[in-house]
Structures are given as C-alpha cells and as structure tokens.
Amino acid sequence: MTETIQHSVISVLIEDESGALARVVGLFSGRGYNIESLTVALVDAEQKLSRITVLTSGTPMVIRQIKAQLKRLIPVHDVSDLTEEGPYVGRELALVKIVSSGEHRTEALRIADSFRARPVDTTTMSFVFELTGSPEKIDAFIELMRPLGLAEVSRTGIAAIGRGPSVFHLKKEPV
C-alpha cells in the first residue's frame, strides 16, 4: 500500500541562539527529509525567540516523525503543523527579473498588473517585479513570465501564521 505524499507547513518556535537553526536543518538533512522552503526570523526579542517556518513534504508517517523529532531538539520551545491545525495564512515574497522588449515587454507589464506585481526596478530592457502571495500564485506568475523573458527569480520562502484568535506559543510570563 502506497501512502500519498503531502505538503506540510510546520512552524517551530526556537531559542534565538547560535547554532539553533543548524540543529533544525541538520535534523532534516541527517534523516533525508526534504525542505521545500525555509524562513526564520526573531519574533520576540525579550524572550529571545525565533520562528522557523518550514514547508516540507512526505508521507503522513514521515510528517509525524519530523514533528516528533523537532519537539525533542533542545532549543525548540514548540512545534505546530499549520497545515493540520486549521486554516492559516501563508505568503511569500518574490523578486522576478524580466529581460525583454517590444510586445513581450508590454505583455509582461499587463500580466504583472493582473497579479498585482509591483515594478521595483525598470530599465529600457528589463523589469524587476515584486510579488507577494501564496506559493502557488508566485509559481503561476513565474510560469507566465517564462516565455516573456524571465531572467532571474529570488524567493523568500513561505511565512505563515494560523488564522483566528488562537496564539502560537508566545506566552508572556506574569509580571
């Protein structure tokens, strides 16, 4: 029986200390787990906590193993599978460079406008567009730009947060 591969957005609250990210990435690489997207940033300077958001894929059993192993890492405070726990908002930023002229240039501007991509650099032969949205939206934009002179892409990876009033783990100690 073959289990299907699923994508999961896992949010990890971790101590903001030297080597913490390396331990998380090491867990993935050491066990052959795939990281499709990875973002990390300080989210609470007072408590010295960072949030790592990982887009990964695997069978349901592999995803359970990833979460269990992450929870056992020393600098990890909490692990949340946003894909499993309910609705979430996930966005990515991309910078997309198009090198073109003539009709392709006009068409690239038209498509960018329909995707709400903002030109952040313009020359007579190129554009750099800034685009935010779901990874699927970014993928669709890139595919449409490919025949129009797509030259370069830089993506941030997904940043995600649960929807609604529940709060992910930034518990303040009573004063």
Cβ 40 vs Cβ 158: under 8 Å: no
Q: Which pLDDT score, from 0 to 100, does residue 26 have?
A: 93
3-state helix, strand, coil in the chain (%, to 5): 30, 40, 30
Q: Which pLDDT score, from 0 to 100, does residue 169 have?
A: 57
Q: Which pLDDT score, from 0 to 100, does residue 168 have?
A: 67
Q: What are phi and psi of 165, to 5 degrees?
A: -80, -10
Chain centroid offset of residue 88 CA: 13
Q: Which pLDDT score, from 0 to 100, does residue 171 have?
A: 54
Q: Which pLDDT score, from 0 to 100, does residue 45 have?
A: 92
Q: Which pLDDT score, from 0 to 100, does residue 174 have?
A: 43
pLDDT in tens, the chain (175 residues): 568 999 999 999 999 999 999 999 999 999 999 999 999 999 999 999 999 999 999 999 999 999 999 999 988 999 999 999 889 999 999 999 999 999 999 999 999 999 999 999 999 999 999 999 999 999 999 999 999 999 999 999 999 998 888 776 555 544 4
- Which residues lie below 8 Å from residue 87, measured CB to CB, with a gap of 6+? 162, 163, 164
Question: Residue holding tokens 């050491």?
Answer: 30
Query: How do beta strands 6-15 and 49-58 pair?
Result: antiparallel
> Is the pTM for the entire model greater than 0.95?
no
Q: Which pLDDT score, from 0 to 100, does residue 39 have?
A: 95
**Alpha helices of 60-163 — where are they, by DSSP H?**
60-72, 102-114, 135-145
